[in-house]
Chain A
Amino acid sequence: MAEMEPGTLITLVTIVVSGVGILLGTITPAIVEGRAVLKALEGMTRQPEAANDLRTTLIISMALLESTAIYVLLVCLILIFANPLLERFFPGG
């Protein structure tokens, strides 16, 4: 730790934060989407005539839920490939 180059600490923190962030950011929407599918399937088996409406609503709400995971992914991609902090504190490095 004594001979650390400038920027190594930021890179290290970035990698750890990306890993933890993508972990939490995918687990939560996955659980919530699973519950949404469960409820929709229960509704479909109980009332098969409402299956089409339920399917459309399910797909739309899944897309809305899924986008939270996508936000986390985009933040992690920006941190990994285009880290603004590295360029700000160590220009040209």
Chain B
Amino acid sequence: MEGFFPQSVFPIFGIWVRDTVISTWIMMAIVVGAAAVVGRRWPEALEMLIDFLNDTISSAMGRPAGPYLPFLGTLAIFVAVANIIGIVPFVVSPTRDINTPVALALIVFFSVYYFGIRAKGLRGYFKDLASPIFMLPMELISHVSRTLSLTLRLFGNIISTELIVAVVFALVPAFLPLLLVAFSMLTGILQAYIFTVLAAVYIGAGLEASE
């Protein structure tokens, strides 16, 4: 199983850069380039994508997605591309390293407070959070634990499907891994959808007034 888990490649200012970080850079270049090309040649495709994201996020939050669409849509596209970029040879999925899901989940964790405080003000937000005062510890614990579960769900799903592909490839190198690669692409898209919908649900719950 050497080479399956992320490895440090080269140091920058004493910080070791892992191969998953390099594939994140490749992925960013691909996404920006694809957005530029598709936006110029087929703008309708981008509109379809944005409409889909808008509908999904609005129905998950139970309110118009307007101000939250840029953040959540970026999250969705990043996670989806990061999950399926692993099928390109010599490029590993960034989400295979646990640091990427941790970073994404922490962004969601802080954005709940950011959007909640921006919508209701600092006092209003914490008053709603602690409306029966004994519920405040529960709320805070649930904020931490759902961040942990967001992280582990994304990481565990990606690493398990890739591990299955690796094991089947070691046993039957011909044709059979192909089906599992298709399955892992499906899982990746589904996980991106779930990650986005859960982030939208968390942000929407933070916006709701408790009265």
Contact = CB atoms under 8 A, between A and B. Distances in A.
Given A63-B194, A77-B159, A56 B153 contact: no
B79 to A, nearest CB: 13
Nearest to A70: B156
B7 interface: no
A64 B152 CA distance: 11
A56 B159 contact: no
Interface band, chain B: 10 to 19
B197 A74 contact: no
Contact of A60 (B1, B5, B194): B194
A63 B190 CA distance: 9
Interface band, chain A: 10 to 19
25 contacts: A52-B59, A56-B59, A56-B197, A59-B190, A59-B193, A59-B194, A59-B197, A60-B197, A60-B198, A63-B194, A63-B198, A64-B149, A66-B157, A67-B149, A67-B156, A70-B153, A70-B156, A70-B157, A70-B160, A71-B156, A73-B156, A74-B152, A74-B156, A77-B163, A81-B1
A52 B56 CA distance: 11
A73 B194 contact: no
Interface string B1-35: 10001000000000000000000000000000000
A85 to B, nearest CB: 19
B198 A67 contact: no
Interface in A21-52: 52
B97 to A, nearest CB: 14
A2 B163 CA distance: 36
Given A63-B194, A67-B149, A56 B60 contact: yes
